[in-house]
Amino acid sequence: MLMNIKLIVGLGNPGSEYRDTRHNAGFWLIDRLAAQWHAPLRDEKKFCGDCARVRAHGRDIWLLKPQTFMNLSGKAVAALAQFYKIAPAEILVVHDELDLPCGRIRFKLGGGNGGHNGLKDIQAKLASPDFYRLRLGIGHPGDKNLVSAHVLNKPSPDERNLLEHAIDKSLQHLPLLLDGDKDAAVRALHSA
């Protein structure tokens, strides 16, 4: 299937108290991409999020940071996708990933949600799991009872550096994804 990404969503929680938490890694990437593309994000009430439209790689691409809180991310994604007739397979969701070591990156199409409430809600609202995911590893605390505190707290300075490096690498290789060269992107993103 030929990739044709029209919407890039970064997951996180709104509010200053969450700004620097691990759960907001998707927001961090969107903020960096918006700055790189000179595309200021604006609050769009009808899409329940901060978004921008950019002309890049021969098409319009939307950037979206849902402002609904993580558990309701699908509300914003579905609102924008339905309005602009963007199919699930034209969406790339960037999110924090517990099941990857901090700083690792993985890219895939579809699959489960791994207990990630943002992904779970997007799957429900789109009635499909078949969207692309860019997974930014934040590491697992080792005990499922510590997961909530882990994702809602700030990473250590070393972990933040690893995450920033992962975002740098993701942005460097994003053009491969947007140009449809999935295999080259996967090789580049998945290399240590």
Per-residue pLDDT of the chain (192 residues; tens, 9 = 90+): 567 999 999 999 999 999 999 999 999 999 999 999 999 999 999 999 999 999 988 889 999 999 999 999 999 999 999 999 999 999 999 999 999 999 999 999 998 888 899 999 999 999 999 999 999 999 999 999 999 999 999 999 999 999 999 999 999 999 988 888 888 888 989 985
Q: Which two tokens stand for residue 90?
A: 């034209």
Residue 95 per-residue DSSP state = E
Q: Flag whether 1 is in a domain.
A: no
- The two three-digit tokens of residue 28, written as one number: 């961090």
Q: Which CB contacts under 8 angstroms, 24+ apart, belong to 146-152?
A: 147/98, 150/22, 150/98, 151/21, 151/22, 151/23, 151/96, 151/98, 152/13, 152/18, 152/21, 152/22, 152/23
What is Dmax (Cα atoms) for the chain? 46
CB distance 34 to 25 below 8 Å: no
Q: What is the CATH number of the domain that holds 126?
A: 3.40.50.1470
Q: Indicate whether 81 belongs to any domain.
A: yes
Q: What is the pTM of this model?
A: 0.96
- Tell whether 106 is covered by a domain: yes
Known binding residues for tRNA: 18, 69, 71, 117
Q: Is residue 37 part of a domain?
A: yes
Which residues 6+ apart lie within 8 Å of 129 measured at CB? 88, 110, 111, 112, 113, 123
Q: Position of tokens 């579809």? A: 110
Phi, psi of 142 (to 5 degrees): 100, -15
Domain that holds residue 115: 7-190
3-state helix, strand, coil in the chain (%, to 5): 45, 20, 35
Annotated binding site: 18, 69, 71, 117
Q: Are 105 and 136 in contact (CB under 8 A)?
A: yes
Under 8 Å between Cβ of 118 and 9: no
Annotated catalytic residues are 23
Q: What pLDDT does residue 192 have?
A: 59
**Single-letter amino acid, residue 157:** P
How many separate domains does the chain show?
1
- Inter-residue contact 51 to 68 (CB < 8 Å): no
Domain-located, residue 2? no
